[in-house]
Amino acid sequence: MSERGGNRARGWSFVGTPLDCSGSDRGERRAVGALRDAGIVERLGATDGDDAAVVVDDPTRDPETGVIGFRQIRDASLEIRSSVGAVLERGERPLVVGGDCTILIGILAAVREKLGRVGLAFLDGHADFLDGRTSPSGEAADMDLAVVTGYGAEGLEGLAGDVPMVEPGDVVVLGHREDGEVLAARELGAPLREEDLVDERIQLVEGKRISRGDSSRLGAYVAERLAAQPGRFWVHFDVDVFEERELPAVTYPQPDGLDWQQTEALLRPLVSSPALVGLSVADFDPDKDPDGEYAQRLVALLADML
């Protein structure tokens, strides 16, 4: 059976997770509805169920963890763990659409709990490796990769039972850009770059390097590596991996990202691998896409590959 046939044999199940970790009302909450309206379920031939009940409306920063709406973030992550776990139990492949990158915490809690060891291909314009001390905002979306690799707030990192949910050596970060200096907490001294905080076992491939090279070859290498060790993997696709002029409808756009062709070339070998467990899509902001152009382009990109 071909790799693409292997993907289709399992079937996709759409899981909506309209989580906004800021405690306010940013546009990414509405991404689930926008992409559903653009036909993502029908074009992928996916099953569709109720969206996960994920509400974060507390904008205050927790004094112990430094995370905005910490208790609500934990409750939302548990809801996502339950929804994704149910899909995995049915033997289907989850397509989890957010919302912001905080959704990854509940997703990987479910995957670890149901399947055991798993790798992670993490496509994102940011490394997401801050914590309650180093994040200027306190948003959990600054911290999701840190949490799932065992560096997060107590009460989040253990949602799968095992810590970490993903071994740092089983993670490849693709497409991040260094976004200046991060304001560190007083006890950390001078400001640090976020990249300086990342566990040294995590492989980092910056956006500029991907743009200069062969995206398809890189995607194939990562897929082969994670299929061999640890044997299965999740793909997390934060759409701010795009160059800001290519896809401006994100919460934190940045220059020096990927174009549509490079992104597709990078993703295709990953999502066509038989070792793929599932895919998450995060950070699309339909409020910055009033005519629906970018929602349609994202759906077309995913439908063509999946």
Helix (H) or strand (E) holding 17: strand 12-17
Token duo for residue 274: 């038989």
The mean pLDDT of 195-209, rounded to a whole number, is 94
Domains defined for the chain, CATH in brackets: 13-305 (3.40.800.10)
pTM of the model: 0.94
CA nearest neighbour of 17 among 29, 4, 9: 29
C-alpha–C-alpha distance, residues 284 and 71, integer Å? 24
Whether residue 186 has pLDDT greater than 50: no
Residue 213: which pLDDT band, with cuts at 50, 70 and 90? very high
Residue 2: which pLDDT band, with cuts at 50, 70 and 90? very low
The mean pLDDT of 60-66, rounded to a whole number, is 96
Could you give the maximum distance between any two Cα atoms of the chain, in Å?
56
Residue 233: which pLDDT band, with cuts at 50, 70 and 90? very high
Say which DSSP state 136 is in. Answer: S
Percent above pLDDT 70 for the chain: 92
Whether residue 12 has pLDDT greater than 60: yes
Q: Is residue 66 classed as helix, strand or coil in its secondary structure? A: coil
**Residue range 245-285, pLDDT digits in tens:** 999 999 999 999 999 999 999 999 999 999 999 999 999 99
Whether residue 52 has pLDDT greater than 90: yes
Whole-number pLDDT of residue 6? 39
C-alpha–C-alpha distance, residues 25 and 189, integer Å? 33
Whole-number pLDDT of residue 189? 57
Whether residue 176 has pLDDT greater than 70: yes
Whole-number pLDDT of residue 236? 98
**Residue range 129-161, pLDDT digits in tens:** 999 988 889 999 999 999 999 998 889 999 999
Residue 190: which pLDDT band, with cuts at 50, 70 and 90? low
Whole-number pLDDT of residue 193? 78
